[in-house]
Structure 1
């Protein structure tokens, strides 16, 4: 491809390449930018925020306000431009390929639900009416550049938690806010939560596991299962 075509404005290029070129051309090392500005430039690209994160394992250093306190919560700082992923020999640099077998295993292991907030595929968010969850895979340690693509390195997350946990979205809850929620729990709730903390996981009940599998079905099949369960309960 000619140098003229190797620009972020070329919509025939992949989103990761366009993001890298945009950062190089429009921001530059030492420059600041916002996700809103990036999304406005790379319109229509799927998961443009994730494509930006995919540059980090290729040596790109992009800091947030948590890394650099002088930044505002909605600002990002391009500290270093890494490998030129727009060049053919570097196209796959830093990309972690997750096999279909591992992907299926992790979803099944995690009960087909986000292990951070508990939402299942297609389920609506209580605090975002009209928005439904989409499941994806994230890394147990999202801040470890180049972390592996083995099952033990992966966790099922909804797209919203996947974004939030990387500190690339809005301001996070404070320790005090979380503690206020914990204090309001009844005694049994506190016991359960403490057990989950010590185990570093929340065990799923049989009903929760069935719910996660149910949410994977098509709308027509879910309707049939609902009717079948109603009939079973009446018998």
Structure 2
């Protein structure tokens, strides 16, 4: 356990230092894997820098000009990080409720992973609505997710909502939530937003 924690801290520290030395520069997954000295869960360490330390490391989900597998740290100042407040009881309840099965790809805990047979499936808890978008640690907002899907290696297995379903959900939201969605879209698609604004005026 102590060795695992030391390895995790070492890889995360190296990644943190590398991001801070390269603020404003786009980096890809191959570069970050080398920085973390090929640690198998380097993507998880990057995610910890975001969720536990509050560094605003952007991906293609945040900016349209970034490609999948690219990362960008715009500012050295971290935002307040979320606390890891999920209890052991909640974790056990969610894993049991989900049948100890990844809710994205269907991999079962302890068995060889269907997309990476070199390792056994390890399950984590993931948020249905991310905490950065107002999600909570309530069991209703949690699901079992394997480390492969959690690292983004199997995003293609997630069923994405179609346009109509997305629009319905946005329309159901409060005006404040709709404005938050608009602000996020403008940040992700700044060029398109500027072009649209120019055409309208």
**Alignment TM-score, normalising by the size of structure 2:** 0.61
1:52 and 2:46 aligned:
yes
Structure with max Cα Rg: 1
1:63 and 2:51 aligned:
no
Aligned to 2:29: 35
The Cα shift of 1:65 comes to 2.5
Q: Deviations over 1:24-76 (max 9, x none)?
A: 02x21x11111221121122656321221123244422222343232233322
In 1, Cα distance between equivalents of 2:76 and 2:156: 27
Aligned to 2:85: 97
**Alignment TM-score, normalising by the size of structure 1:** 0.53
The Cα shift of 1:159 comes to 1.2
1:154 and 2:150 aligned:
no
**What count of residue pairs does the alignment treat as equivalent?**
156
Aligned to 1:119: 107
1:132 and 2:127 aligned:
no
Q: CA RMSD in A?
A: 3.6
In 1, Cα distance between equivalents of 2:151 and 2:8: 26
Q: Deviations over 1:80-111 (max 9, x none)?
A: 33339xxxxx9xx4342322111111111111
Shift of the 45–143 alpha-carbon distance from structure 1 to 2, 3 Å rule, reads: same
Residue ranges of structure 2 left out of the alignment (5+ in a row): 1-5, 163-201
In 2, Cα distance between equivalents of 1:150 and 1:17: 30
Shift of the 116–81 alpha-carbon distance from structure 1 to 2, 3 Å rule, reads: same
The Cα shift of 1:19 comes to 2.4
Q: Deviations over 1:158-209 (max 9, x none)?
A: 1122222xxxx4774798xx99xxxxxxxxxxxxxxxxxxxxxxxxxxxxxx
Shift of the 172–109 alpha-carbon distance from structure 1 to 2, 3 Å rule, reads: closer
In 2, Cα distance between equivalents of 1:162 and 1:12: 16
Q: How does 1:223-234 map to 2 (within 5 A)?
A: none
**SS of equivalent residue, structure 2 residue 132:** coil
1:23 and 2:19 aligned:
yes
In 2, Cα distance between equivalents of 1:12 and 1:123: 24
Note if contact 1:65-1:72 (Cα within 8 Å) is conserved in structure 2: yes
Q: Deviations over 1:125-176 (max 9, x none)?
A: 4454444322111111247357433322211011122222xxxx4774798x
Shift of the 45–98 alpha-carbon distance from structure 1 to 2, 3 Å rule, reads: farther
Aligned to 2:181: none
Task: Say which structure is richer in helix.
Answer: 2
In 2, Cα distance between equivalents of 1:40 and 1:104: 35
